[in-house]
Chains A and B, each alone.
Chain A
Amino acid sequence: MKRAERVAVYGKGREYWRRLGIDIVKNKWLYIMLVPGVLYFLVFKYLPMWGVIIAFEDYSPFSGPLNSAWKGLYWFQRFFATKKWVDYLSNTLILSVMSIVFTFPAPIILALMLNEIRNIHFKKISQTLLYVPHFISIVIVVSITYVIFGADGIIYKWTTAILGRSIDYLGDPGVFRWMIVGQNIWKETGWGTIIFLAALTNVDTQLYEAAMIDGANRGQRLWHITLPAIRSTVVLMLVLRMGSVLDTGYEHLILMSNALNRSVSQTLDVFVYQNGIVNGQYSYTTAVGLMKSLVSVIMVISANKVAHALGEEGLY
């Protein structure tokens, strides 16, 4: 809604508040029902946000956030002074871009494939089987990876036999990101199809019938009917994904990282974990985390703008 339209409907300044007051009185039960939800967000989401104040202090749990010494932007300056921050940020961004390019389309493709299955029983069984990896903890996934990709592992031996040279799957920095992306695809693709399959059920089957009568083949039907139908879902999911684009999931990376591949596995999340949790530098890492959140907010807003430009609804 444009601002002019908003003003026309809700009024402006005092008028706005007057109309809101009338509205509240008129629909008081609706507003009362809203109260718990608003309270929830205030208490559990907005109130704890004041905790970020420790990013500007030399926080000590024994003095508390109110009594710790004020440091201003010291921690931010320190982080940028380490020079390593470029590595951390680029590791984070490269992994994120790779996950958007490779992990994000995977469930869409899989959903389209499932959608083409005509045997309903086979479809149900394969769907269920595809959901299973989602429920396997990442620790187990990494352990399985170690077993089959390690020096005694079956895949390691196969590739060594086929290529004539061994690939160090677990140590080579060049392979690391592909392993992470591969594990994510293996684990989450099946689960990710759910939302796209739901979108696909909304496609009017009459469209397909009409297209068939007009002589459209499978590929044409997919391109001209199915994809446009789920387009808005895809865009919405992409915008949502942009918000967490910098969340690389530290436990997964820590489990997969070692001295040989640390140059590419050190992301912002891993840095925050190691310095904040392990070394107890709460203020420093809160500052780094805060910075990461700022970048995420910027990315969501710009992704949303792009979505609007493409003529989609976007997030808001």
Chain B
Amino acid sequence: MKKFVSLLLSLAMLISLVSFASGEAKEEMTLKVMLPDFYSDSDWVTLEEGNPVLQAIYEATGVKLDITWVPNSGYTEMTSLTLADKKNLPEVMVMQGPLDSITVSSARNGAFWDLTDLIPQYEYLAQGQQSTYDNTAIDGRIYGIYRARAYARAGIYYRNDYAAQAGIEKVPTNVEEFKALCFALASLDNMYAINMCKYVAGTIGITTVMFGAPYVYGVDENGKLYPAFESPYFQEGLDFLRELYSAGGIDPNFMTIESGNWDDAERANPPKALMRLDCLDNGFRYQEWLEQNMGADAENPIVTLLTALPNSEGNIQIWPQNTGASGEVVITTAVSEEKLPKVLKFLDWCNSAEGQTLLNCGLEGVTYWIHSDGYRYTYPEGEKDNTSYATYTNTVQHSLNQLGMNVNGDLTPETAQTILRSWYNNNLVENAKYVISNPCLTLYSETNVLMGSNLNTELEDAEVQYIAGKIDLNGLKAAYQDWYDAGGELMLQEYQEAYDATK
């Protein structure tokens, strides 16, 4: 009898233990998150209002997500305002520039948890690239989990049907042919060659780097740093854009086009601009859009993707759209020390196959469907793609993928490989070796934190004015000199010291 009782007791203990353990795993917790929003014109269904995706996340982790959406165009301003109000910080937020002055000063002032020693303790987070983590480090400490993005995303895409109309059937194989193509496209009536908008860093960067210039800073043979604009290739790239502009190849009002309206010119019917220098995923998305809305043929894409063109000396360079990452996810000090491991555990889960799928694709049968070919689609099998599915998906999914870090690679269900998508995926790996980097990326300069963005804007303004023919070469040179005088010199000096110290 005694034995039986003790057995019963130990059994009861075991049961309570088990239930305690599972209770801990699913412990309820509300998490306040701030994310950039790319669908701010669509409604948002909260967890309380019955959002099935958030409900699924809650069931899997016990975390109730309370999301503050901030339109992407104003995210930088909002981050800065949010971080100025210590009492109302979100618990987890995306920082778009890991080394922006606002991120650096907030991290130093203790706004974020130092994750350097914690990341290796989590299964998925530990699988991230150490070098990419290091790229986001501030004073040698890692404050965020980077959001992984492919390296060689930047390139050129253009409408080959209009290129043929302009007399060029051959896909350019070097920079000279690329230039010829641009001028041919510019000669078409009522159409611009390169689609540009207010965000000029991409177009200028992709052009000049392709022509052979370094990215932001270069290092000469003596180990001395110099700004990219000192490179003759950089000038060559700017000269080309200037020439194209004066030949009517660029919309004279491009500086008034917001980056949110960048697509408008190419998605007009007939298109107003035929080529874009940007992230190549936008290229295959453009083709897919043409298929759905303009009846384009999927077998013979009218969009051509182009990257890794050799310059006049045969060298290939690709502009780094990002440094293997696009911003980071940080945990603010609004999270208590006891809550920190739980939050990290949740972020770790976000990288699991289940987490990645929920954040990036949502729920099967609700926001995505696996068809009999085994691929993931945004609509049920047997139906045509239809905007009503996308409209619904946006209300429950919104920009949840912005929380996705995917440091351990993409684990979401695969999508069907269109011609352009498979071209893109193959080239992505192949071309990673051509991507150049900024030697000062991880170096620290006090002047850069204080006035780097102002200096950069002034430089960019001068380049735009040069392209638009508002200033001549002397004016451009004067602007470069201003840059040196206003703090560029000092910044370069600080970088040089930091650079030499790493040797």
Task: Report B-chain residues with C-beta under 8 Å of the C-beta of A84.
Answer: 486
Q: How many residues of A contact B (CB 8 A)?
A: 29
A170 CB-CB contact with B under 8 Å: yes
Chain A nearest Cβ from B14, distance in angstroms: 47
Chain A nearest Cβ from B25, distance in angstroms: 33
Chain B nearest Cβ from A130, distance in angstroms: 29
Chain A nearest Cβ from B139, distance in angstroms: 15
Q: Assuming the A-B contacts A62-B86, A63-B109, A83-B485, are A277 and B255 also in contact, with contact meaning beta carbons closer than 8 angstroms in the complex?
A: no
Interface residue from B106, B251, B252, B457 paired with A262 (Cβ < 8 Å): B457
A277→B470 contact, CB < 8 A: no
Q: Assuming the A-B contacts A259-B465, A262-B457, are A280 and B251 also in contact, with contact meaning beta carbons closer than 8 angstroms in the complex?
A: no
A125 CB-CB contact with B under 8 Å: no
Task: Report B-chain residues with C-beta under 8 Å of the C-beta of A168.
Answer: 252
B101→A281 contact, CB < 8 A: yes
Closest chain A residue, CB of each to CB of B450: A281
Could you give, for residues 254-272 of chain B, a 1 whenever the CB lies within 8 Å of some chain A CB and a 0 otherwise?
Answer: 0110000000000000000
The stretch among B76-84, B219-227, B432-440 that forms the contact with chain A is B76-84
B111→A151 contact, CB < 8 A: no
A275 to B468: give the CA distance in the assembly, Å.
27
B109→A82 contact, CB < 8 A: no
B105→A280 contact, CB < 8 A: yes
A279→B111 contact, CB < 8 A: no
B465→A151 contact, CB < 8 A: no
Q: Assuming the A-B contacts A170-B256, A258-B256, are A277 and B77 also in contact, with contact meaning beta carbons closer than 8 angstroms in the complex?
A: yes
Task: Report A-chain residues with C-beta under 8 Å of the C-beta of B457.
Answer: 262
Could you give, for residues 143-158 of chain A, a 1 whenever the CB lies within 8 Å of some chain B CB and a 0 otherwise?
Answer: 0001000110000000
B253→A170 contact, CB < 8 A: yes
B470→A61 contact, CB < 8 A: no
B485→A282 contact, CB < 8 A: no
B453→A279 contact, CB < 8 A: yes
Interface residue from B83, B106, B255 paired with A258 (Cβ < 8 Å): B255
B485→A277 contact, CB < 8 A: no
B76→A150 contact, CB < 8 A: no
Chain A nearest Cβ from B144, distance in angstroms: 16
Task: Report A-chain residues with C-beta under 8 Å of the C-beta of B365.
Answer: none
The majority secondary structure among interface residues of chain A is loop
A60 to B105: give the CA distance in the assembly, Å.
8
Task: Report A-chain residues with C-beta under 8 Å of the C-beta of B105.
Answer: 60, 280
Residue among B106, B111, B255 with the highest chain A CB neighbour number at 10 A: B255
A260→B468 contact, CB < 8 A: yes
A278 CB-CB contact with B under 8 Å: yes
Interface residue from B198, B256, B468, B486 paired with A150 (Cβ < 8 Å): B256
Chain B residues 464-480 with CB under 8 Å of chain A are 464-465, 468, 470
B83→A61 contact, CB < 8 A: yes
A61 to B198: give the CA distance in the assembly, Å.
32
A169 to B457: give the CA distance in the assembly, Å.
22
B253→A151 contact, CB < 8 A: yes
8 closest residue pairs by CB, A with B: A259-B464, A280-B102, A258-B255, A60-B109, A259-B461, A62-B109, A280-B80, A151-B253
Interchain residue pairs with CB less than 8 A apart (21): A60-B105, A61-B83, A61-B85, A62-B86, A62-B111, A63-B109, A64-B86, A82-B486, A83-B485, A168-B252, A171-B253, A258-B255, A260-B470, A274-B454, A277-B77, A278-B102, A279-B102, A279-B454, A280-B80, A280-B84, A280-B101
